[in-house]
Amino acid sequence: MADIFASVPGKVAYVEMSATVGQANMPAQIKNPAFIPFRPAPVIIGAVDWGQRTHQQFATSLDGSIYIYVFGDLMGNINIRGYAFDLCDQDETGLDRVLNYYNENRASKRPSPISVEIANKVVEGFLTGAQVVARGAATDPAPVLNEYTLEISALP
């Protein structure tokens, strides 16, 4: 299929273009309840940070030995970052999807944890924060690109 460009006043140029259909693997999925329940969606997950720690104390002795006292596990954190698009052919925009998901499933509204699949491991936690950064100008007619972060406090 050719795309037509107006190169110089009075002249037209065209360029033959082709596309390859591919598949991208997401680094994680929010499974229960589903964050992206259908495809194509106006929201994509671009990056995931997951951290988990133990609760311990180290003690040194006079002879140079080091002792560790372990008191269990601490809460972890999961940050899911991605992009939300304003697509006209969807029932809700990507930003609407992010904000609605946070409002319906945040820890103050949902008593049970949500499930996040990272690689082949399912981690449960509570949705405790959301942040959105809108990229674009208010006077620009182009759609605004929204970067979002969902913060989840992971159970040990």
Give Cα separations from 44 to 23, 67, 81, 132, 137 (angstroms): 13, 46, 9, 14, 22
The answer to whether residue 54 scores a pLDDT higher than 80 is: yes
Q: Flag whether 4 is in a domain.
A: no
Q: Flag whether 9 is in a domain.
A: no
CATH number at residue 138: 2.40.30
Q: Flag whether 65 is in a domain.
A: yes
Helix (H) or strand (E) holding 48: strand 43-51
Q: Flag whether 18 is in a domain.
A: no
Q: Flag whether 5 is in a domain.
A: no
Q: Flag whether 2 is in a domain.
A: no
The answer to whether residue 112 scores a pLDDT higher than 80 is: yes
Sign of CA dihedral 154, 30, 123, 54: negative
Q: Flag whether 14 is in a domain.
A: no
For the chain, the domain total comes to 1
Percent of the chain whose pLDDT exceeds 70 = 73
Domain that holds residue 127: 24-154
Q: Which of 19, 16, 39, 14 is nearest to 29 (CA)?
A: 39
Q: Flag whether 89 is in a domain.
A: yes
The token pair at 99 is 């904000």
Give the per-residue pLDDT at 64: 92
pTM over 0.85: no
